[in-house]
Chains A and B, each alone.
Chain A
Amino acid sequence: MKPQSIILVEDDLTLVEMYRDKLKEEGFRVLTVTDGKLAMQRIRQGADLILLDILMPNLNGFEILKRIKSDSKTKNIPVIVLTNIGSETVDSDKNLALSLGASDYMVKSLNTPDDVVARVRSII
């Protein structure tokens, strides 16, 4: 079975490494994008899931989310917003993300990498 591909959009290099290692360990193919501008290009190439950070230089994660969901090529790719802003309970950022079409919203510091993997698995 072809490994599922995940695009990880994240600017913090430490975290990029951490998640990439973990996901690879779990058998996923991981593509990372650290610059928002290049994100759409990568995404258009297709993936099974996108892990999207919000606070990034150059381009806001919400903007990317909007574009993903409006582009016919990419709108069906599930997106998990993985960020350190907002909150998992009541939050305007979470609501915004969900209303823009994100499948889930996770606050990085509240979840171990295992939690992330579990959530990814539950979606794809």
Chain B
Amino acid sequence: MQKLCIHCKKYPVTEVNVAGRKKYLCQGCQYLSGRFLVGEKLVAESEDKKGQKRHLVVGALIFSKDKKSILLNKRRVWPYCYDIPAGHIKLDETPKTAIAREVLEETGLSIAKSQLLDHEIFNDDSCRYGCDTHEWFLFKCSVRDYNVLPNSESEDVTWHPIAQLKAMNFLPATKYFIKSHVLENNHRKSSRKNSIEKITDAGGDMDAVLAERREEMLYHLSTALFKLDAIENILQMAVKEITSSMNCYSSSIYLYNPRNQMLEVGAYANSEGASSPHDLHQFKLGAGITGSAAFKRKIIAISDISTEKEYIGKATDKGAIIAIPILSKDKLVGTLSVSYNDPKIFTEAEAQYLSILGSMIGLAIENNRLYKRLDNKVQNLSMLFGVTSISGRQTKNTIQQMVDTVPALLESEKCHFLIFNPLKNNFGSFALSNDEGSLLPEIPLGQGVTSKIFLSQKPMFVNDADANSDIILKYRKIFNIKSQLSIPVQAGAKSIGVLHVINKVNGDFNDEDLKLASIVASRIGMKIENTNSIAEIKSEKDFLDSVIENSDEGILIINSKGDITVWNRFLEKVFGIKRSEVIGKSGLNLAKKIGAQELYWKVVRSMQKNHYLEKEITAASGERILLGINIFFVGDEHEQSAVVMARDITKERNLLQAKNDLISTATHELRTPLTAVKGYLSMAQNPNAGELSEKQMKYLGKASESTERLVNLIEDLLGALRIDENRVVLDKQVFKAGPMINEAIANLQSKAKAKDIRIYNKSAYDTFVFADPIKSKQIVENLIDNAIKYTHDHGKIFIATEKSIHDIKISIKDTGVGINKADAEKVFERFYRISNPLSISAGGTGLGLYIAKNLVEQQGGRIWLDSEIGRGTTFNFTLPTTNIIK
């Protein structure tokens, strides 16, 4: 037993294979049933009644998981259609016929199949069927809107039939639908006839019908006026409507051409459906009825043309004609002619109606023309602006292009651009519109409108060239100048030339033209300015590029995105990596490649703006070199680039190394024999070695003293040389000042005792200092040593400290000889020794204070002295203190 369709329950189903799945197709109602998957698309093959194989695209159906179908969705299998419109559609129906039938059912109107337009797919979600009278939109929408499956949880979708569309108040379709209802009545001849007959039968007013028609037409035309369609289409539509609404034989619109004073047919329609007349294509202004109406600017209505002399046409022509002039802003645009095959009496109402039509058509034509002009201008302007985006190389071409656009833009014949040549003091022709190479005469400065404009920098226009004596005769002849508009052209602040626009077509130059021309002039000026700037910038850039490339330091620049923008020759050589391999590529990758990854991250993460480091690397050549690397950032907070500069300091380092080695060797060599001298002298003075006379002891003592001086000299020299190295490493720590000072004092205690000088330590014990403790001790030692030297026996030395916010001041005061003002500044210089008896006997190298000053300043402190001759000296120095005490 055959299965019955679950939908209609009348007809049997046949099994069909749809995309590999079994489905059942009802032979009667075309219902497709079976098990469907959510989102399943159905394409199937089938045979129609004639046995022809067809592809059936059923469309996308989405069903709920628990239901096989949705009741509202009437699925039909269509040949060649992409969707499933709802409705009762027969097997051999096409979408078009289905719609025709739908319309009939819905509205009671019957429409011929031929009036249906093809359907259009908008997107997957909707589909439009159109015809002259209706627009049918089929949309996907949620079933939930229709409460079909109140318990359904899934998103089921169905195609939306028109009925629901109306329920949703889809306004445009509705509106159109309503309007088209009426239109449909007028559209078809037969039905129109019927309707009119109906009305007249009913004894209705012809005028009323006309009035209704008029309203209709006006509405239609007004919407047509907003259409920026080709004017020909608008006019054609207009005449078509007029022909049918006036029930005439033909109507035509003639357009006036002022150049030859002819009225040429622009649109034509007759009741037989022809859209172009077989004769009477044009009329001279004033000729014929059409021409007369235009000439006289009055409506001419001829009830019987056979009686009319002025009528142009075949002698056998009979009938009636009415011609209406079409005007716009008092300008003649053309004529509307309506002709009848039979004589006819024209009513006032008809004339009025046609008159209104005429003015509306005139408006439409004018609008259209204005729009065209505007469009043209816009296009020209955009071309003008578009053209200026071309790069600076083809300046001459670009300017030529700009000059070429001017005639069209300003509706004139020519455009001529002259540039001022300061060397020759004249103007030379730079570009002439649509002209490749005419040789035009130069204009000396002082002659012509050109000079006038250039010197006054004021634009102007002249509409009667003959009356203007400024225009150079040569040019007047060459260009046949009747009118001219002239604008000065500036590049930046500099005047460079003059732009002339010659011979305005259709009238005179006006202020609007001046504005437009000014725009062109400024664009030309900008273009020239740009070119100059570009050239300048380029040469600047080339120079800088050359500096970077030829630098004997390596320069690497990484931009804010982390990409390498500069990699110069030095680096190419050192690392053996070519520019092309790294430019534009990631800096991090390069860092990884050369083993500098850690450094990369350190720099990126650090808050410091500057980094310096020295790194020994193996160059591409194989040699080991030492690079001194400086890294700093340039740019603003948004865009920062890292600049890495690498200098080969191998030689310098080697030199330094050699120097250090020399120092070491020299000191060693000097010290060694000294050790022996000092040692043996000491041993000789020892009683163990034997008895010595007083004289001998004295002599040995002197020798020892001198030896000691030698020893100290060498120590000081060594110290001073080390200072000069300026890479002395500061081992900054936080330490207490007290113990440091105590140690220093202890070291010099024996010296002080030798002169019976007492050292009084009044320094604060617990003050914390942030400096190098050993160096600081050295400073103190040096100063105490100095104090001892320059103080008489039995003198006193006072050491004190004073704390302030940022630092601690240590003072070493002695009761010594004092230092006078002249010497006061110089004491800190190398080898400076005050000429003073005491200082001579005091010995010393003159280096102690020099060293002390260096050490103080290296740690960020200051050193100075206060002194009074005969009273004593106080040496003061500061060391940074910390705020983190306690």
A112 interface contact, C-beta 8 A: yes
A14 interface contact, C-beta 8 A: yes
A63 interface contact, C-beta 8 A: no
B612 interface contact, C-beta 8 A: no
Contact, CB under 8 Å: B775 / A107: no
Using CB atoms, name the residue of chain A closest to B689: A25
Interface residues of B in 285-318 (CB under 8 A from A): none
Contact, CB under 8 Å: A90 / B775: yes
CA A108 to CA B584, docked complex, whole Å: 62
Using CB atoms, name the residue of chain A closest to B712: A110
Contacts of A12 in B (CB 8 A): 672, 676
CA A19 to CA B667, docked complex, whole Å: 20
Contacts of B668 in A (CB 8 A): 55, 84-85
A4 nearest CB across to chain B (Å): 19
A108-B667 in contact given A18-B680, A113-B679, A113-B682 (Cβ < 8 Å): no
Contact, CB under 8 Å: A15 / B679: yes
Contact, CB under 8 Å: B678 / A109: yes
A109 partner, pick from B671, B683, B688, B777, beta carbons under 8 A: B671
A35 interface contact, C-beta 8 A: no
B591 interface contact, C-beta 8 A: no
Contact, CB under 8 Å: A18 / B672: no
How many residues of A are counted as interface, with CB atoms below 8 angstroms from the partner's CB atoms? 21
Contacts of A71 in B (CB 8 A): none
Interface residues of A in 60-115 (CB under 8 A from B): 84-85, 87, 89-90, 107-110, 112-114
CA A112 to CA B681, docked complex, whole Å: 9
Interface residues of B in 648-675 (CB under 8 A from A): 664, 667-668, 671-675
A48 nearest CB across to chain B (Å): 22
Contact, CB under 8 Å: A107 / B778: no
Contacts of A21 in B (CB 8 A): 683
A81 nearest CB across to chain B (Å): 14
B714 interface contact, C-beta 8 A: yes
B718 interface contact, C-beta 8 A: yes
B711 interface contact, C-beta 8 A: yes
A29 interface contact, C-beta 8 A: no
B715 partner, pick from A14, A85, A90, A110, beta carbons under 8 A: A110
CA A97 to CA B676, docked complex, whole Å: 23
B307 nearest CB across to chain A (Å): 133
B507 nearest CB across to chain A (Å): 97
B146 nearest CB across to chain A (Å): 91
Contacts of A25 in B (CB 8 A): 688
B774 interface contact, C-beta 8 A: yes
A84-B667 in contact given A22-B683, A109-B711, A110-B715 (Cβ < 8 Å): yes
Interface residues of A in 1-54 (CB under 8 A from B): 12, 14-15, 18-19, 21-22, 25
Contact, CB under 8 Å: B683 / A15: no
Contact, CB under 8 Å: A114 / B674: no
Contacts of A108 in B (CB 8 A): 671-672, 675, 679
CA A12 to CA B775, docked complex, whole Å: 32
Contacts of A114 in B (CB 8 A): 682, 686
Q: Determine which residue in A12, A25, A112 has the highest number of CB atoms from chain B within 10 A of its CB, and name it.
A: A112
CA A84 to CA B686, docked complex, whole Å: 24
Contact, CB under 8 Å: B676 / A14: yes
Interface residues of B in 686-705 (CB under 8 A from A): 686, 688
CA A84 to CA B718, docked complex, whole Å: 12
Contact, CB under 8 Å: B778 / A90: yes
Q: Determine which residue in A19, A108, A109 has the highest number of CB atoms from chain B within 10 A of its CB, and name it.
A: A109
A66 nearest CB across to chain B (Å): 20
CA A18 to CA B778, docked complex, whole Å: 31
B676 partner, pick from A15, A87, A89, beta carbons under 8 A: A15
Contacts of B714 in A (CB 8 A): 109
Contacts of B774 in A (CB 8 A): 89-90
Contacts of A18 in B (CB 8 A): 675-676, 679-680, 683
B462 nearest CB across to chain A (Å): 92
B196 nearest CB across to chain A (Å): 121
Contact, CB under 8 Å: B778 / A112: no
CA A108 to CA B711, docked complex, whole Å: 10
B675 partner, pick from A15, A87, A90, beta carbons under 8 A: A15
Contacts of A110 in B (CB 8 A): 711, 715
Using CB atoms, name the residue of chain A closest to B680: A18
Contact, CB under 8 Å: B682 / A87: no
CA A108 to CA B677, docked complex, whole Å: 11
Contacts of A89 in B (CB 8 A): 774, 777-778
Contacts of B778 in A (CB 8 A): 89-90
B689 nearest CB across to chain A (Å): 9
CA A19 to CA B675, docked complex, whole Å: 10
A84 partner, pick from B675, B682, B777, beta carbons under 8 A: B675
CA A112 to CA B686, docked complex, whole Å: 11
Q: Determine which residue in A21, A84, A89, A113 has the highest number of CB atoms from chain B within 10 A of its CB, and name it.
A: A84
Using CB atoms, name the residue of chain A closest to B722: A87
Contacts of B777 in A (CB 8 A): 89
A interface footprint on B763-779 (CB within 8 Å = 1, 0 otherwise): 00000000000110110
CA A112 to CA B682, docked complex, whole Å: 7
Contact, CB under 8 Å: B675 / A85: no
Q: Determine which residue in A21, A87, A90 has the highest number of CB atoms from chain B within 10 A of its CB, and name it.
A: A90
CA A19 to CA B775, docked complex, whole Å: 32
Contacts of A84 in B (CB 8 A): 667-668, 671-672, 675
The 17 listed contacts between A and B (C-beta, < 8 Å) are A12-B676, A15-B676, A18-B675, A18-B676, A18-B683, A84-B668, A84-B672, A85-B668, A87-B718, A90-B774, A109-B675, A109-B711, A110-B711, A110-B715, A112-B682, A113-B679, A113-B683
Known: A22-B679, A87-B719. 5 other contacts (CB 8 A): A15-B672, A85-B667, A107-B671, A108-B679, A114-B682
The 6 closest A-B pairs by CB, nearest first: A84-B671, A109-B671, A112-B682, A108-B675, A90-B774, A109-B675
